[in-house]
Structure 1
Amino acid sequence: MVIRSGIFRGVNPYSSLISAGVILLFIFLVLAFPTNSASWIDSARTIVTFYFNWWYVIMSGSFLVFLIAIAVSKYGAIRLGDADERPKYSYFTWFAMLYAAGQGIGIIFWSIAEPIFHYSGGTPFAEGTGTAEAADMALQVSFFHWGLNAWAIYCIVALALCLVSYRLNKPLGIRYTLYPLFGDHVEGKLGVVIDVIAVFATIFGIATSLGLGVTQINAGLNHIWGIPITKGVQLVLIAAITGVALCSVLSGLDRGIKWLSQVNMWLTIVLLVFFFAWGPTRYLLVSLGEATVSYLMNLFKFNVYIEGVPNEATRWSDMWQGWWTTFYWGWWISWAPFVGVFVARVSRGRTVREFIFGVVGVSSLLSFVWIVAYGGTALWAELFGPGGVSDAVSSNVSMALFATFEAMDVGVIGVVAGVLGTILVTTYFVTSSDSGTLVVATILSEGNEHPMYRHRLIWGSFEGVVAAVLLVAGGSAALSTLQTAAIIAALPFSIIMVLMCVAIVRCLSQEHSSSDASDVS
């Protein structure tokens, strides 16, 4: 029920109040009990890792299989819109907007750090560390965490939204993804529960990325101009860039957000060219081909590996999947409401098959190229070059990108690349924040694609505040605190995603049956 007048005009008051109340309660508890809050958050991550690790693993792999089956089935030809409708955006703009929303800050932060961690610390899938074989497996595992499974999680929500909105003519709201199952009940209390869970997951998922992004921006400023790496500087950065993001979100999807997404893509291309042209070109090209083929061959093995809890384990950090796979699947799920709504908004007019292959397949390929360019260069520096990246990552993960630039030793070009890298993190920060703000306001307005400006301002500010609070609450373990927020927020929404799969099948079956009946008549 969207209110037409008063302070809550333009949104559902129940969803908005409950969502705001939950977030404000979290902020209050963290600020009121700063000493204990980090410990509580860490204990919550341990519980999720010990008892729900299997759930995240099975669910992620199942989503990928589910989408592939739909894409190659008779349902793949169904158009997400009218029968004669065509997409509004070109492929370049579409992919730019998809990627800016779906990966953004995170892949800049982890595309070097993760392969280096796997290379030096090992994985369950290969013996030994610090070798060429360990480097190849490090790239494969990074592909696994950033590739097909990640984009499949996003695609489930986006496809459900596209079907109910563009085929059943329902609003573009998360609650309506379950309309094929529950009918008009989603407009009542059930819809409120769905919206609150989606907003909770979105706010904390985005806050995690914003927190990671601002630490890397701070590292870049330190590398270039010597600005100290402190919580105070990071809080100022959050405030300043959140302000820019608010200006962007007020301009709308087809102005600020679209323009910044295209800037992101061009900067991404420039830096990829830099790595391939001034980096170890042959090593990167060979690694891209070999790691991609090996990843696809090992995809089943990766998806069925579930790590048991060691007898001596006392917290999540005692498990490899606690550090990596559980965190990633939780992070992607927490981002799924945000990315799903955004992807659905820019994908009208495409067929189901084109949509799935584009969102899951093409986006994954770009991630592979990115990880090889950034992470592969760092691995080459460790194997054949001056090294130093592993030590930098161990000391401060945020310095991974800039340590790699130094290891490349290309003089002033490396300095320019460092500046562009910092700008890229900043623009991805802005696009993640403004896109997320627009999506949260859309969810709370029950699918209104043009929510009121004041609601965009309120929820955009909330995102910045939550990111700041998580950074402060985490103290020296801020990174872990940010990760934990995403994992916890994802758990309830994962159940809704399973129901979405059932709703997708029912909707596609009805659409195909209607199409057959129309052809006969």
Structure 2
Amino acid sequence: MDTLARKLGLKTNPQIFFWSAGLTITLLILFLVFQDWVGEAFGTGREWIVTNLGWFFILGVTVWLVFLIWVALSRYGKLRLGDDGDKPAYSNLSWFAMLFAGGIGTVLMFWGVAEPISHFSNPPFEDVQPYSPEAAEDAMSISLYHLSLHTWAIFTLPGLAFGYFIYRYKLPMRVSSVFYPFLKERIHGPIGKTIDVVAILGTVFGLAVSLGLGTSQINAGLSELVGLPNSVWAKVLIITTLTLVATASIIVGLEKGVKRLSNINILTAVGLMIFVLIFSDTVFLLRQLIESLGTYASDIIPLALWNDAMAEFTKDGGWGWQGGWTVFYWAWTVTWAPFMGVFLARISRGRTIRQFVVGVLLAPSLFTLVWFVIFGWSAMEIDGIGGEGGTISAAVAESVPLAMFEFFENFPLTTLIQGIAVVVVALFFATSSDSASLVVDMLCSGDAEAGPVRQRAFWGLTEGAVAATLIVLGGEAGLSALQEVITVVGLPIFILVTLMIPALYIGLRHEKHKVTPMTHDQFVRQYSDQLNGNGIGGAGAETGSAATEPATVTPATTTGPTAPATSATSSTTKPAGSRATPDRDPPVP
């Protein structure tokens, strides 16, 4: 493998690169040749995981969030992700902008209208009538539960682990480096490389699912605008075109141009949000912004611990609703964990653990709150709160990707706004693919610097090929197949991320004697600094003692991202303090 890598002009770890590439290509061939068998296998695998391990996914993410809060508030919060003298490379504003660009653009565009409307029209809780005010409040709380603090805990934990072990222990930028406390130098051997290969495969397939969702939404938008058929082959054509565009940007070196496009894209998305705010019931939305925050705060603990344990005693039993929503979300999101972990670590060097956790958890979560309130509540109001539903819920029932475009039918300049939305989704697709290629290449090489163009181009084409294959595999079922694949692929990644907690705890314990506990007065002063805009990498950041690089570790050398209706119908009991749900088919994302 070393000889082949040299002949091909690669700068990577040959074993990790060739095993990851070989297995990915092999899986693609198997998927295409044995479509029926593969579809059945993933369907069976998803059903088993959801039924027997759904509780593990739901409890796990809540545990990760609690652990992160504890670390931030503990004495370890003073430690820097880097050497003692390192300072943040980016201002607070730039850092927050990159957090948005890295993880939530495509997701918010896809689910901003679709998820609240789905829960609004098909409430998961007993005795809650569809389209009622109570259903609307529940829909907003569930949407925020799925896409705010818990989702960002999935990104924050690996990001913190990467930043800590890579920058303080001077280890390669690979997933296996996080497990140094368990494996020591064996992270460079077969066990470590196996971890890296599994993480890369999960990342590629997770990104492919996101690209598939984005492609479905672009197809829906073009169908509305120019009458493009909403079909499998239209989606393949779209994903092929955008993949070639993203790969071309890698080859010709348009990094600055892509960065500029990304910034423009973010501003355009924010512009769409402001447009909706202005041309909707503005006062109602501003009132809901405050009220929804309070409702989410009161519901988050019951929702985070809700496992639908009584579902097995209902008519059909099973994990219908949560299997199609919460478990799918966590399994899908965790496949982005290595990608987002590396991204967050790279842009956060020099920040303290406390600054990192507070910033990464809260800033995107607050933006998500604003986005969902403006798009979600506007959509539910248009559809008729207290009525019998309207065109938006009908569109979601027909095809989830249509939701955003049907929503814009209720605003002025409809065609223009729908066209802008298509462009925004397409640009998010291209820039995400470009960035993902860079990160996957880093996970192979262990080097924080970009590898040769040919390596990144290979991964860009591979991600597009996997996404196209999954679309073909899913056929008319579309998102159903994507959900089945990602639930199965997400399980091993979920286990790896869970094991990062003890690894990180052991690593932090090595520095216990170097960190003095923070007094109450110090905490109050630092919190005051953060409120004034100085606490996250600013001039007012804490200057207390930080740990030095662990003496026991020597610098390491390297060699070189419509969920289906389930068959089960469940009667769902709402978490403590809430209502519960009659027997009905589970809602379909």
Short-chain TM bin: over 0.9
- State whether residues 2 and 11 of structure 1, in contact with CA within 8 Å, keep that contact through their aligned partners in structure 2: no
Alpha-carbon displacement from aligned partner over 1:346-392 (angstroms, at most 9, x marks no partner)? 11121111111111111111111111222221111112599310001
Counterparts of 1:470 and 1:64, CA distance in 2:
31
Residues 1:230 and 2:231 aligned together: yes
Matches within 5 A, 1:137-216: 137-216=138-217
Moved more, 280-289 or 162-171: 280-289
User: Which amino acid counterpart does residue 158 of structure 1 have in structure 2?
Assistant: G
User: Shift of residue 330 of structure 1?
Assistant: 0.4
CA 1:314–1:457 in structure 2 vs 1: closer, same or farther (change >3 Å)?
A: farther
Matches within 5 A, 1:285-296: 285-296=286-297
Matches within 5 A, 1:114-125: 114-124=115-125
Matches within 5 A, 1:45-56: 45-56=46-57
- State whether residues 79 and 546 of structure 2, in contact with CA within 8 Å, keep that contact through their aligned partners in structure 1: no
Counterparts of 2:368 and 2:199, CA distance in 1:
26
Aligned-residue identity in percent: 36
Q: Please, which of 394, 402, 419 is the counterpart of residue 399 of structure 1?
A: 402
User: Shift of residue 38 of structure 1?
Assistant: 2.5
- State whether residues 125 and 137 of structure 1, in contact with CA within 8 Å, keep that contact through their aligned partners in structure 2: no
Instruction: Report the equivalent of 2:477.
Output: 477
Task: Tell me the matched-pair count.
Answer: 517
CA 1:55–1:126 in structure 2 vs 1: closer, same or farther (change >3 Å)?
A: farther
TM-score of the superposed pair, with normalisation by structure 1:
0.93
Counterparts of 1:519 and 1:60, CA distance in 2:
29
User: Shift of residue 311 of structure 1?
Assistant: 5.7
CA 1:451–1:324 in structure 2 vs 1: closer, same or farther (change >3 Å)?
A: same
Secondary structure of the equivalent of 1:87? coil
Alpha-carbon displacement from aligned partner over 1:11-51 (angstroms, at most 9, x marks no partner)? 22222232223222321222112334333322221111111
CA 1:520–1:216 in structure 2 vs 1: closer, same or farther (change >3 Å)?
A: closer
Instruction: Report the equivalent of 1:298.
Output: 299
CA 1:62–1:280 in structure 2 vs 1: closer, same or farther (change >3 Å)?
A: same
Secondary structure of the equivalent of 2:141? helix
User: Shift of residue 72 of structure 1?
Assistant: 1.1
Counterparts of 1:95 and 1:248, CA distance in 2:
25
- State whether residues 78 and 546 of structure 2, in contact with CA within 8 Å, keep that contact through their aligned partners in structure 1: no
RMSD: 2.5
User: Which amino acid counterpart does residue 182 of structure 2 have in structure 1?
Assistant: L
Instruction: Report the equivalent of 1:390.
Output: 393
- State whether residues 41 and 485 of structure 1, in contact with CA within 8 Å, keep that contact through their aligned partners in structure 2: yes
User: Which amino acid counterpart does residue 426 of structure 2 have in structure 1?
Assistant: T
- State whether residues 105 and 428 of structure 1, in contact with CA within 8 Å, keep that contact through their aligned partners in structure 2: yes
Residues 1:20 and 2:21 aligned together: yes
Residues 1:506 and 2:506 aligned together: yes
CA 1:80–1:250 in structure 2 vs 1: closer, same or farther (change >3 Å)?
A: farther
Instruction: Report the equivalent of 1:467.
Output: 467
Residues 1:493 and 2:493 aligned together: yes
Counterparts of 2:166 and 2:253, CA distance in 1:
20
User: Shift of residue 2 of structure 1?
Assistant: 7.7
Alpha-carbon displacement from aligned partner over 1:118-150 (angstroms, at most 9, x marks no partner)? 011112387222111111110110000001011
Counterparts of 2:131 and 2:317, CA distance in 1:
27
Counterparts of 1:446 and 1:175, CA distance in 2:
10
User: Which amino acid counterpart does residue 346 of structure 1 have in structure 2?
Assistant: I
Counterparts of 2:503 and 2:36, CA distance in 1:
44
Instruction: Report the equivalent of 1:421.
Output: 421
- State whether residues 104 and 429 of structure 1, in contact with CA within 8 Å, keep that contact through their aligned partners in structure 2: no
Moved more, 11-20 or 481-490: 11-20
Instruction: Report the equivalent of 1:34.
Output: 35
User: Which amino acid counterpart does residue 299 of structure 1 have in structure 2?
Assistant: I
- State whether residues 28 and 469 of structure 2, in contact with CA within 8 Å, keep that contact through their aligned partners in structure 1: yes
User: Shift of residue 168 of structure 1?
Assistant: 1.5
Counterparts of 2:26 and 2:65, CA distance in 1:
36
User: Shift of residue 515 of structure 1?
Assistant: 5.4
Contiguous gaps of at least 5 residues in structure 1: none
Alpha-carbon displacement from aligned partner over 1:92-143 (angstroms, at most 9, x marks no partner)? 3322222222123222111111111101111238722211111111011000
Counterparts of 1:433 and 1:276, CA distance in 2:
30
CA 1:254–1:238 in structure 2 vs 1: closer, same or farther (change >3 Å)?
A: closer
Alpha-carbon displacement from aligned partner over 1:34-89 (angstroms, at most 9, x marks no partner)? 33433332222111111110110110000000000111111112222232322222
Bigger fraction of residues in helix: 1
Alpha-carbon displacement from aligned partner over 1:382-405 (angstroms, at most 9, x marks no partner)? 125993100011111111001101
Contiguous gaps of at least 5 residues in structure 2: 517-543, 549-589
Moved more, 380-389 or 475-484: 380-389
CA 1:5–1:513 in structure 2 vs 1: closer, same or farther (change >3 Å)?
A: farther
Moved more, 351-360 or 375-384: 375-384
Counterparts of 1:260 and 1:144, CA distance in 2:
30
Residues 1:100 and 2:84 aligned together: no
Q: Which has the larger radius of gyration?
A: 2
Matches within 5 A, 1:52-67: 52-67=53-68
Matches within 5 A, 1:237-316: 237-250=238-251, 255-308=256-309, 310=312
Moved more, 453-462 or 376-385: 376-385
Counterparts of 2:326 and 2:225, CA distance in 1:
33
CA 1:105–1:415 in structure 2 vs 1: closer, same or farther (change >3 Å)?
A: same
Secondary structure of the equivalent of 2:510? helix
Counterparts of 2:127 and 2:145, CA distance in 1:
15
Alpha-carbon displacement from aligned partner over 1:292-338 (angstroms, at most 9, x marks no partner)? 1111111110111112453678897x611011000001011111111
- State whether residues 474 and 480 of structure 2, in contact with CA within 8 Å, keep that contact through their aligned partners in structure 1: yes
User: Which amino acid counterpart does residue 78 of structure 2 have in structure 1?
Assistant: A
Counterparts of 1:118 and 1:448, CA distance in 2:
42
